[in-house]
Structure 1
């Protein structure tokens, strides 16, 4: 499997209302972050009413595979750093079993005034309890968010107890609600996205095709099709890049909305969201949005985490990403809890000694 050279961590400081240096956030992040914005915007009563109308799903907190090894978690047990699992799914009917097409860890880090997004590639080869080792994405299909969260915790030493899920149909509605997103699309991407748009039309979405390549504002249907492209460039590696581009635009356009628009935005968003978070937890997390918050993101696996060619077959013959999970876990823990940038230049022994003296 080809390895793509890229920096898996990017960071952005939001310096103004119309800042053009956007951090990326992928698909389902908006499902939680906009809830935080709405909760912190002074519309608590309206928000609670809207939230109660959405479908919430509880997790069995005693069966989430959380490690008892505090050193592995590197967590001081405070609420300054909270992790939430985020899933993007493609369900067409109520109760339909589905894989999680997008998997992330959202970290609300009040200790460092940051929101951190750790993207877990769907094809990562992991152990799923009760099933054979296979792609991470299958956990959601086998056991919904309960097993999906448990699988993340068990394979990456995490302590996640909450989740949020949003489906792709909802993403089109949300993107339209902020007026679309600006994307520079290549001709190959345009053609592939239009094939996806044609497929979406069969499920009732408006077949609004992208007419030209280049920098332009994509509407919800077009942006969802663009973010789902898998067969242009380096497969899922570039697919996650596209999803990040869409979400960086979406997140900051939501932040830049007039606060009076938040309740209507939340109204459009909530029908597509399922979450275990209750209103009190959301209100508690929302205070970080009132700070001068910056955003950082990490893609797992990084290139250095891949074993050999980076490819391995599961028992069904499916191609998976062969990942050094121990090394990947160490990177995630340091990124989330120690605020370490995995791409920062490593100090030489001489430099370290000079600083110490």
Structure 2
């Protein structure tokens, strides 16, 4: 029962909120021009614990995926990728965002954006790639589409959120095709909340969007754990389970209601996987924009974040910094090798 309690606590929060390592040598950059389709991977090929991962005690991790599936799409790409952990050992909720344009090596050996994995290989392939990337096991997944986010936010009466700037954009979708929000603190309904987490047309693109998604999660957690909302959590959990795709059972989500009050005192920490922007090179056919991460750094940052609650000093790096990043111990050794030796 204790295992289920850990699993449930953040699952319902994350599901309601998002309602919508492949290593290269430290001095080398992966090929950013490789792109193309890759074969689907079957559920049986994902074991939920990659041999190269390190399991941290006292928590379970859930990969929350916000799908941009349209009516004509069989599955859709992942608009949102967020690793959520309820850490009982440290009384902490930890949220790590992975930008959807993050470049990773797929099973076919070519490099693609990680958000493509949901369409090509489903949540199983996506979980496998995330495990490789951060070096930590993913225990469960939850896929939330646009309608689910809208309905769940409306069901709890909306959210109070600070909108950092005016947001205006037409997505081209027949449903939820307009983003129109004004700067300032507002009480957002479900459709407005979807606009808030989807908007990406500012200077930071997807990195700005991951920051807004984290702010959205914080607002949702506050709303769900208010005294007037707590009695309704069993109903919210059942509604969420009906609207999302997940490998967790209805019993798992329903038991959350009994454990939710204890998580009011938990501290929430959040960050985004650091890296650098890659703009398409017009001289390379098929080249795309990517968020490029150093896999050695990705695993180092993820372990420090989930084990110690320590976020990286900055998320956006110069491309050279990403390519040449070294763990602090290696940097100390490198500096020491350059120091002059004392004369005898």
| Counterpart in the other structure of 1:296 | 269
| Counterpart in the other structure of 2:301 | 331
| Counterpart in the other structure of 1:259 | 230
Deviation sequence 1:176-209 (CA, Å, 0-9, x none): 12222223335632x23xx35xx55x22x59796
| Counterpart in the other structure of 2:15 | 31
Separation in 1, partners of 2:200, 2:157: 25
208 and 144 in structure 1: CA distance in 2 versus 1, 3 angstrom threshold: closer
Check conservation: 1:139, 1:148, Cα contact below 8 A: yes
Separation in 1, partners of 2:236, 2:310: 33
Runs of 4 or more consecutive aligned structure 1 residues displaced over 6 Å after TM superposition = 283-287, 312-315
- Within the candidate set 229, 239, 245, 2:215 is matched to 245
Separation in 1, partners of 2:216, 2:144: 15
Higher RCO (CA < 8 A, seq sep 6+):
1
Separation in 1, partners of 2:119, 2:87: 30
Deviation sequence 1:211-235 (CA, Å, 0-9, x none): x543221211122112211112311
| Deviation, structure 1 residue 279 | 4.9
What residue ranges of structure 1 are gaps of 5+ in the alignment?
Answer: 1-25, 35-58, 350-357
More deviation, 236-245/262-271 = 262-271
Q: Say whether 1:92 aligns with 2:52.
A: no
The secondary structure found in structure 2 opposite 1:271 is: helix
Check conservation: 1:29, 1:86, Cα contact below 8 A: no
What does 1:137-156 align with in structure 2 at a 5 Å threshold? Answer: 137-156=115-134
| Counterpart in the other structure of 1:322 | 292
What residue ranges of structure 2 are gaps of 5+ in the alignment?
Answer: 1-9, 19-41, 315-327, 333-344
Check conservation: 1:91, 1:98, Cα contact below 8 A: yes
What does 1:27-176 align with in structure 2 at a 5 Å threshold? Answer: 30-31=14-15, 60=43, 63-64=46-47, 66-69=49-52, 73=54, 75=56, 80-93=58-71, 96-130=74-108, 132-176=110-154
Superposition TM-score, scaled by structure 1 size: 0.67
Separation in 2, partners of 1:89, 1:254: 23
85 and 254 in structure 1: CA distance in 2 versus 1, 3 angstrom threshold: same
| Counterpart in the other structure of 1:47 | none
Check conservation: 1:118, 1:297, Cα contact below 8 A: yes
286 and 166 in structure 1: CA distance in 2 versus 1, 3 angstrom threshold: same
326 and 271 in structure 1: CA distance in 2 versus 1, 3 angstrom threshold: same
Q: Say whether 1:275 aligns with 2:246.
A: yes
Separation in 2, partners of 1:274, 1:268: 12
| Deviation, structure 1 residue 254 | 1.3
Check conservation: 1:28, 1:86, Cα contact below 8 A: no
Check conservation: 1:88, 1:100, Cα contact below 8 A: yes
The secondary structure found in structure 1 opposite 2:51 is: coil
Check conservation: 2:12, 2:237, Cα contact below 8 A: no
Superposition TM-score, scaled by structure 2 size: 0.69
| Counterpart in the other structure of 1:179 | 157
Separation in 1, partners of 2:285, 2:83: 27
Q: CA RMSD in A?
A: 3.5
Deviation sequence 1:59-96 (CA, Å, 0-9, x none): 94663473335xx51535xxx22111111102234972
Check conservation: 1:87, 1:102, Cα contact below 8 A: yes
Residues matched between the structures, number: 279
| Deviation, structure 1 residue 118 | 1.0
